[in-house]
Amino acid sequence: MNKKLKQLLLVSVVVFSLLWSFSCQGQKQETPAPTAQKTVLQIGQQEVQTLDEAIYKTREFNGHKREYLSVDFSTISHPAAVTDFQQVFHLPPVKQYRTGTCWCFATTSFLESELKRLGRGEIKLSEMYTVYWQYVEKARRFIREKGKSALGEGSESNAVTAMMKQYGALPESAYTGLLPGQTEHDHSKLFDEIQNYLAFCQKNDYWDEEKAVDYVKLILNKYLGEPPATVEVNGQKMTPKEYLDNVLQLPLDDYVCFMSFKYVPFYTKGEYKVPDNWWHNEDYYNVPLDEFYQAIVNSLEKGYSVAFGGDVSEPGISGDEGLAIVPSFDLLPSLINQDSREFRFYNRTSTDDHAIHAVGLARQDDHTWFLIKDSGGGAHRGPYKGYELFRDDFVKLKMLVFMVHKDAVSDLLAKFETKAK
């Protein structure tokens, strides 16, 4: 064996011995437990966003367990209580129970806040009086359009003002829509019966408008009770129209609706293209997202409440937690813009499935939070008992339309007047 080969073997033995020694020492030593740290993602050199983990939770409903995607809300910093918000006057939350009439509960609450702001006092209005006549008008249009008009329990905020203009209003004490002995609304059988009857009309080519509407009224009377023709206020009898005009004096023409979509030119009015806009109303003011969102904030800061319509079927909202955010596994806040919002509306991951009433603002850390009065069951299960806290990113991405008094957005409306000239 030559000298060079002997030296190479010697070096190999030494190296192997050292590696074996280190390996044995590593096996004998206990590895300390890793320190728990939040995972963060840096965007450029400015934004560092905590990553929200997608997790599955289980909820039991009517005896059946359902698994759903959610987020760990314990890591979310948020206002601790409803009292942390700068609030606009509103009456306490009420439940819609088993009905698809959130649109009426939210907008009625909004108009009750307006009554107080306008100096009319604290008046609880009847949601079901409006709902009754909305069903009548839906049936009427269905017959007129020979079955080509959308039929469902849902609607929009401006349907409330439209029904009031046509049929007036009542205080809740005059018409609850509950039969003797009932304490909770349940429209499942009511709607099924209306739907089945109108399907019969369509199948048999029966388009007698007045007879069909009269039959729908019989169904409504069966489940809701017939609305009174008059109401007594301070010893004076008046019709619902007279009650609206003489007592409430709501300026119904002064309430405006906004949306933010690219399918309609900005600073023009157009149709909100969702099934619940069943009469294809085209009176929505269309503005860019930054102005849409800022108008909401400005309105609440000036003491005007806002009625929202939008999407609440998302992993980032939880009635049990009373919170709504856009988790980072969906979209980072810096990426919420006109196009990301439009994309979700286009592919129907943002749908118009709920209406709510925004009644307050709070700021914490780098976020603005909105106090939401909600008639849905989830909000009443949660910690805030009829309220939820919406973070700014959720409002920007998922609230699709809003209604407010025109004076709150006069600067924005002026842009429409300028464009029209």
Q: Where are the domains of the chain?
A: 54-420
* Count helices and strands in the chain by DSSP H and E runs: 12, 17
Distance (Å) of CA 1 to CA 8, 234, 277: 11, 121, 95
DSSP single-letter state for residue 152: S
Pairing of strands 255-259, 284-286: parallel
- pLDDT at position 63: 80
| CA atoms of 62 and 51, how far apart (whole Å) | 34
- pLDDT at position 37: 52
Indicate the fold that domain 54-420 takes in CATH.
Cathepsin B; Chain A (3.90.70)
- pLDDT at position 107: 98
- pLDDT at position 419: 73
DSSP single-letter state for residue 186: B
Pairing of strands 323-324, 231-233: unpaired
- pLDDT at position 164: 98
Pairing of strands 323-324, 387-391: parallel
- pLDDT at position 306: 98
Q: Which region holds residue 225: left if phi is over 0, alpha if psi is between -120 and 50, else beta? A: left
What are the helix (H) ranges across 279-332? Answer: 289-301
Q: Which residue from 115, 57, 68, 127 is spatially nearest to 90, judged by alpha carbons? A: 115
| CA atoms of 279 and 275, how far apart (whole Å) | 9
pLDDT along the chain (421 residues), means of 10: 48 43 42 51 62 87 85 93 97 97 98 98 98 98 96 97 98 97 97 98 97 98 98 95 98 98 97 97 98 98 98 94 95 92 96 97 96 96 96 98 98 87 61
- pLDDT at position 421: 61
Distance (Å) of CA 179 to CA 223, 261, 377: 7, 42, 21
The reported pTM is 0.88
